[in-house]
């Protein structure tokens, strides 16, 4: 604990009656010793430990509640649970990508999510259970879970590992079974600890990987690739130190499952207390084909994070991405025809790029009908010691953007993102000690927003319009529809808004071709790709526990989507439901198909 944290807690105690926005600003005033901001979980953890000591008042649950009102995690009423796959070779050779041998490709052992995964031996069951437990103990609702599976290239892992990994995630959710009974929580947690120790033993006897980060750091220090001098690649070393021992010791036998084992856990999850309301995987565009799209859907996924990085063939080539823009176009078309939400990773400041090229490229992302994604992560390139980019930097071939340049490109992306897209992250939150040179500010979105506002530039992406904790007047809520076309569909973005804020939305896709080239059962159907109702908003005069989800926005949006689809000549409305939302749609007269649900209209 630092003096800075103590001062922050004292200030929070004294200003507890102020609006949440003021408290959030106050939190941003304080920093960890490394200059980064305190995250909310550590503030709550320290407060629980320190309340009643060091000049702090007695523990006041209101303070925890107030911090939990912060918009980032609770705005949607959905608990995001991020899990990482094990270190594994990646088909990509991208020069900017970190080569941290303790991690799946592209992740860094110092990132908070990565640390959690390492402590849990990258075991999916342990990761999900521990995360649910942590979120629950901080007071979050954990009945609706968005499972975000990160690490390298998902589709490059063996099929049996993919099935096992997701089966274990579902099993963890199904076993958790916690509502709000504190005795039950304690009992569950004790059982879980036992389970953890058993799995821990299994790992310790079978691999040299420890759940102790310091120990791992020491073990791997000598092996770790240094980008300036790469003699062996990440793939070579990971094969040597993970895959070969795993094969020899039979870990692979333990990390596999059949489709029917997965389907049994999925079926349980349909009515479990902790349900998957979304499942996300990440991959590369050249891994997308008809077969992989079907498989991803069969696993239960509803969204795909696709690293496209650039829409300039020359930049893709220079950065050794291993695919061109034509491949990205094809991946978009296939995923969109299967109804997936498209979450794109876009990078700036790549080798061979410039602010002008980045702006042109970013504009293309929305001007060109082949793209037009639903969500975006904008990651200007950071220089990491283990990346091959170090060689380019040393030779003076690449350098990071200045603060001004970074500001120009990030503000441009913020102000050129249409209202149907959400920028989920701007600047990857890399721990500052891992960045060799360049920007270390993780609050760059805020800086870029201030810059855009100062220059009177308008932002309309979903995230900048979310209602969050703001009140609204029901009579003044409007339904608006934004139409836009893609090369394979006419998209309708239906949104309930209050003033300039968004309360709920639905993504409706009307395919241009009646016959679906990717998924047979979707032929002739319009498609709901996403429904999102924000959870914490309150109507003026309503009780504090009444949320936007209870105003029937979801139902009204489905009815409108059905009417639009019918008027456009469709006889069926499909939905790419998550495993845990199937019941919701059944109650609204949708019937189960093979991989989707359908409403006769």
Chain residues binding ligand SF4 by CB under 6 A are: 90, 92, 94, 97, 105-106, 152-153, 284, 307
Q: How far is the CB of 309 from ligand SF4 (least distance, A)?
A: 7
DSSP H helices, 181-285, are 182-206, 213-221, 234-238, 244-249, 251-254, 259-269
Nearer to ligand SF4, 88 or 371 (CB): 88
* 87 versus 92: smaller Cβ distance to ligand SF4: 92
* Shortest spacing between CB 430 and ligand SF4, in angstroms: 14
Q: For residues 565 and 140, what is the distance between their CA atoms, to the nearest angstrom? A: 37
SS3 call for 224: coil
For ligand SF4, give the closer residue by CB, 227 or 339. 227
Instruction: Please report how close the Cβ of residue 232 comes to ligand SF4 at its closest, in angstroms.
Output: 15
**What is the C-alpha separation between 437 and 435, in angstroms, rounded?**
6
Nearest CA to 267 among 162, 174, 179, 132? 174
Q: Residue 97 or 166: which CB sits closer to ligand SF4?
A: 97
Shortest distance in whole angstroms from residue 151 CB to ligand SF4: 8
Distance CA(201)–CA(82), nearest Å, equals 24
Burial category of 113 from C-beta neighbours within 10 Å (exposed 0-12, middle 13-18, buried 19 and up): middle
Smallest separation (angstroms) from ligand SF4 to the CB of 425: 16
Q: How far apart are CA 106 and CA 526, in angstroms?
A: 37
Bridge partners for 200 per DSSP = none
Least distance between ligand SF4 and beta carbon 200 (Å)? 28
Q: Give the nearest distance from C-beta 323 to ligand SF4 in angstroms.
A: 9
Distance CA 601, CA 592 (A): 15
Q: Between 98 and 580, whose beta carbon lies closer to ligand SF4?
A: 98
CB 398 within 8 A of CB 389: yes
Phi then psi dihedrals of residue 526, to 5 deg: -80, 170
Beta-ladder partners of 342 = 304
Contact criterion met (CB below 8 Å) for 426 and 413 = yes
Long-range contacts of 403-408 (CB under 8 A, 24+ apart): 403/439, 405/349, 405/355, 406/348, 406/349, 406/380, 406/439, 406/444, 407/447, 407/448, 407/451, 408/355
Nearer to ligand SF4, 93 or 566 (CB): 93
Cβ nearer to ligand SF4, comparing 312 with 449: 312
Strand 591-592 with 471-472, pairing = unpaired
E-strand stretches of 245-334: 275-283, 303-309
Closest CB to ligand SF4 among residues 97, 526: 97
Closest contact distance (angstroms) between CB of 228 and ligand SF4 is 18
Reference 87, options 77, 98, 78, 100; nearest CA is 100
CB closest to ligand SF4, residue no: 92
CA 179 to chain centre: 25
Between residues 144 and 321, which has the closer beta carbon with respect to ligand SF4? 321
Which of 417, 412, 419 lies closest to 358 in space, CA to CA? Answer: 412
> Smallest distance, Å, CB 83 to ligand SF4?
16
Q: What are phi and psi of 450, to 5 degrees?
A: -60, -40
Name the minimum Å distance from CB 390 to ligand SF4. 15
> Residue holding tokens 């239960």?
300
Minimum Å distance from CB 265 to ligand SF4? 28
Rounded to 10°, the helix 355-367/403-415 angle is 10
Q: How far is the CB of 286 from ligand SF4 (least distance, A)?
A: 9
Please say which residue, 438 or 554, places its beta carbon nearer to ligand SF4. 438
Q: Which is nearer to ligand SF4, 226 or 253 (CB)?
A: 226
Q: Which is nearer to ligand SF4, 307 or 580 (CB)?
A: 307
For the CB of residue 381, give the shortest distance to ligand SF4 in the complex, in Å: 11
The DSSP secondary-structure symbol of 487 reads: S
Residue 176's closest CA among 163, 161, 187? Answer: 187
> 131 or 284: whose CB is closer to ligand SF4?
284
User: How far is the C-alpha of 427 from the C-alpha of 430, rounded, in Å?
Assistant: 8
């Amino acid at each position: 604990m630092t003096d800075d944290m103590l001062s922050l807690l004292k200030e929070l105690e004294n200003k507890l009656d102020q609006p949440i926005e003021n408290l959030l600003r106050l939190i941003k005033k304080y920093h960890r010793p490394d200059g980064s901001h305190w995250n909310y979980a550590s503030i709550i953890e320290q407060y629980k430990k320190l309340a009643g000591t060091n000049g702090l008042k007695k523990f006041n649950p209101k303070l925890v509640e107030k911090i939990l009102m912060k918009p980032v995690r609770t705005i949607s009423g959905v608990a995001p649970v991020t899990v990482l796959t094990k270190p594994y070779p990646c088909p990509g050779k991208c020069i900017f990508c970190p080569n941290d041998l303790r991690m799946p490709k592209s992740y860094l052992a110092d990132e908070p999510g990565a640390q959690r995964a390492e402590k849990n031996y990258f075991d999916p069951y342990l990761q999900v259970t521990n995360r649910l437990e942590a979120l629950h103990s901080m007071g979050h609702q954990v009945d609706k879970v968005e499972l975000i599976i990160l690490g390298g290239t998902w589709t490059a892992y063996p099929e049996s590992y993919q099935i096992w990994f997701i089966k274990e995630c579902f099993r963890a959710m199904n076993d958790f079974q916690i509502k709000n009974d504190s005795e039950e929580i304690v009992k569950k947690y004790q059982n879980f600890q036992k389970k953890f120790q058993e799995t821990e033993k299994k790992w310790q006897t079978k691999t040299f990987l420890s759940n102790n980060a310091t120990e791992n750091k020491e073990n791997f220090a000598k092996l770790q690739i240094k980008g300036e001098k790469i003699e062996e690649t990440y793939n070579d070393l990971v094969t040597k130190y993970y895959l070969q021992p795993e094969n020899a010791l039979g870990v692979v036998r333990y990390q596999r499952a059949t489709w029917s084992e997965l389907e049994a856990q999925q079926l349980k999850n349909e009515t479990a207390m902790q349900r998957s309301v979304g499942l996300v995987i990440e991959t590369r565009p050249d891994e997308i084909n008809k077969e992989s799209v079907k498989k991803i859907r069969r696993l239960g996924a509803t969204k795909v994070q696709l690293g496209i990085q650039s829409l300039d063939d020359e930049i893709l080539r220079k950065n050794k991405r291993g695919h061109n823009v034509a491949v990205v176009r094809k991946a978009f078309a296939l995923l969109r025809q299967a109804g997936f939400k498209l979450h794109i990773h876009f990078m700036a400041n790549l080798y061979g790029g410039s602010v002008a090229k980045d702006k042109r490229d970013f504009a293309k992302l929305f001007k060109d009908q082949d793209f037009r994604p639903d969500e975006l992560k904008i990651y200007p390139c950071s220089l990491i010691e283990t990346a091959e980019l170090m060689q380019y930097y040393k030779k003076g071939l690449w350098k990071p953007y200045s603060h001004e340049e970074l500001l120009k490109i990030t503000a441009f992306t913020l102000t050129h993102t249409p209202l149907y897209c959400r920028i989920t992250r701007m600047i990857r939150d890399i721990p500052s000690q891992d960045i060799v040179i360049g920007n270390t500010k993780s609050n760059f979105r805020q800086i870029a927003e201030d810059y855009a506002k100062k220059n009177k530039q308008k932002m309309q992406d979903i995230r900048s319009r979310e209602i969050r904790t703001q009140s609204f007047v029901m009579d003044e809520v409007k339904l608006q529809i934004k139409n836009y076309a893609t090369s394979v569909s006419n998209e309708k973005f239906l949104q309930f808004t209050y003033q300039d804020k968004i309360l709920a939305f639905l993504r409706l896709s009307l395919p241009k071709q009646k016959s679906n080239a990717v998924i047979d059962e979707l032929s002739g159907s319009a498609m709901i790709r996403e429904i999102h109702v924000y959870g914490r908003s309150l109507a003026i005069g309503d009780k504090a526990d009444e949320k936007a989800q209870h105003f029937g926005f979801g139902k009204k949006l489905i009815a409108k989507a059905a009417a639009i689809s019918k008027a456009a000549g469709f006889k069926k409305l499909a939905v790419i439901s998550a495993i845990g939302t199937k019941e919701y749609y059944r109650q609204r007269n949708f019937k189960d198909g093979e991989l989707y649900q359908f409403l006769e209209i």
